Amino acid sequence: MSGNVETNVRPNPDDVLVKIADYVLDKNIESTEAYDTARNCLMDTLGCGLLALTFPDCKNLLGPYVEGTEVPGGVRVPGTSHVLDPVKGAWDIGAIIRWLDFNDTWLAAEWGHPSDNLGGILAAADYLSQKNIAEGKDPLTMKDVLTNMIKAHEIQGVLALENSFNRVGLDHVVLVKVASTAVISSMFGLSKDQTIDALSQAWVDGQSLRTYRHAPNAGPRKSWAAGDATSRALQLVLLTQKGQIGYPSVLTAPTWGFYDVQFKGNSFSLPREFDSYVMENILFKISFPAEFHAQTAVEAAVILHEQIKDRLNDIDKILISTHESAIRIISKEGTLNNPADRDHCLQYMTAIGLLKGDLIAEDYEDDVASDPRVDHLREKMVIEEDARYSKEYLESDKRSISNAIQIFFNDGSSTEKVEVEYPIGHRRRREQGIPLLVEKFERNLKTQFSESRVESILSLCANQEALEQTPVTDFMNLMVAE
């Protein structure tokens, strides 16, 4: 046969696509811990979205692309009066969830925020439930939402364990798109073959670069990138439902597949079977709206605040011991141009913790950043890697996110070295963290709702069985603007 032609025999689907489809369609989740954690995750994620509505730059992006567009039976966006087509509804819900960088986190070879998938899951659930009711069928329940959250977390998180997309310049939202496509396919009742087709469409998309997360280009796209990804997933499911075919060797095809084009010829590693591991071990951002690699640094800074608040001019050096991922992602010098730049700067977040004894979302705005003491402290900082921190960050039984701070003064004295290995949102600190997570949820609810509505939502979300049995439409009725 001539070497100038390609063999046009359609291959079997790539194994990774098949494994994801089998999991999302056939796996029965049995873990009580996973469902309980998913309930807490639902509260925290929606609360972060409601808080984001207090920021005009976020709120300005919401609503139909064409003003005045009306969608009967459309998707509701929590905290607003918008009723949108499902694809834009997923975009809006995903955008508010991620805007403040305050929702859950998964850290491994790749990092990300698996609760970003809730944008697509909730939009699909609201749309399908209203459609079912109009057709005389039962709506989906919130247990369906929790189940799909667990599965989306698992797909995104297991793919992230040993596969580093950031090292080839790709943004982690590719995993949001893939995980959302999988679970939304299931929600729409797609067959296994159709689910594989939809998943292939997600991989064949040109994937987002990380440009908008790093100096000197860090900007607000990072706050809506996940909404864009989960929205695209829902769109791809709808296209597949209409008969669009898939691309079975999208990952492995020589020259033209994802591995060769975008992953430097490497194939994916799946070190564990899909189950409920990721949801059970998810990291919550409870104390600070800070990029997760800095959570323990800010906690250490807050501990040191009282000791140094009156000695700022006496500081000679601030030594921050951290892990490799933090150095690669969020350690930076020079001018910070906007809030998105600042909330991905280890030195800035640490400086605010030292100065104020706290860190809140408003601390990334220009009025706070213009305080000359912030840059004064940043200039004193020395960042060093602790090899143990980097090692234990990747160990499956630890997954620490360690930082330590020690401050040295001009007279030769110093503070003690304050080390925090596990943030309060870590599984190892669940007992301490969950009551604070509920308090955070209540505060965020109060930014949008009356006392009576807040009480109704809190009461429902505190009861696992009652929440799981609640129709999605009833839940969304509670979450819309009053």
Place 183 in a pLDDT band, splitting at 50, 70 and 90: very high
Whole-number mean pLDDT of the chain? Answer: 95
Place 59 in a pLDDT band, splitting at 50, 70 and 90: very high
Tokens of 73: 């039976």
240-269: string of b/e by CB count within 10 Å (b at 16+)? beeeeebbbbbbbbeeebbbeebbeeeebe
What is the CB neighbour count within 10 angstroms for residue 311?
Answer: 14
- Of the listed ranges 284-298, 443-457, 458-472, the one predicted with least confidence: 284-298
User: What would the mean pLDDT of 161-190 be, rounded to a whole number?
Assistant: 97
**Residue entry with tokens 């949102």:** 425
Place 5 in a pLDDT band, splitting at 50, 70 and 90: low
Tokens of 476: 């969304």
Do the beta carbons of residue 471 and residue 477 sit within 8 Å?
no
The answer to whether residue 1 scores a pLDDT higher than 50 is no
Report DSSP letters for 45-84, one per residue.
Answer: HHHHHHHHTTSHHHHTT-S-SSTT---TT-EE-TTS--EE
What's the pTM value of the predicted model, to 2 decimals? Answer: 0.86
What is the Cα–Cα distance from 460 to 438, expressed in whole angstroms?
Answer: 12
What is the Cα–Cα distance from 181 to 24, expressed in whole angstroms?
Answer: 10
pLDDT of the residue at 481:
95
Report DSSP letters for 140-180, one per residue.
Answer: PBHHHHHHHHHHHHHHHHHHHHS--SGGGTB-THHHHHHHH
pLDDT in tens, 71-120: 999 999 999 999 999 999 999 999 999 999 888 999 889 989 999 999 99
Residues 6+ apart with CB under 8 A from 21: 182, 185, 192, 195, 196, 199
pLDDT > 90 fraction of the chain, expressed in percent and rounded = 88
Residues 6+ apart with CB under 8 A from 253: 260
- The length of the chain in residues reads 482
Do the beta carbons of residue 192 and residue 67 sit within 8 Å?
no
196-233: string of b/e by CB count within 10 Å (b at 16+)? bbbbbbbbbbebbebebbbbeebebebbbbbbbbbbbb
Tokens of 39: 């309930």
* DSSP designation for 404: E
pLDDT of the residue at 3:
60
Angle at 378 between CA 373 and CA 384, to 5 degrees: 155
Do the beta carbons of residue 441 and residue 461 sit within 8 Å?
yes
User: What would the mean pLDDT of 162-180 be, rounded to a whole number?
Assistant: 97
Instruction: Give SS3 for 315.
Output: strand
User: What would the mean pLDDT of 184-203 be, rounded to a whole number?
Assistant: 98
What is the Cα–Cα distance from 412 to 418, expressed in whole angstroms?
Answer: 18
Report DSSP letters for 351-376, one per residue.
Answer: HHHHHHS---GGGGSHHHHT-HHHHH
What is the Cα–Cα distance from 166 to 111, expressed in whole angstroms?
Answer: 9
The answer to whether residue 8 scores a pLDDT higher than 80 is no
pLDDT in tens, 394-407: 887 888 999 999 99
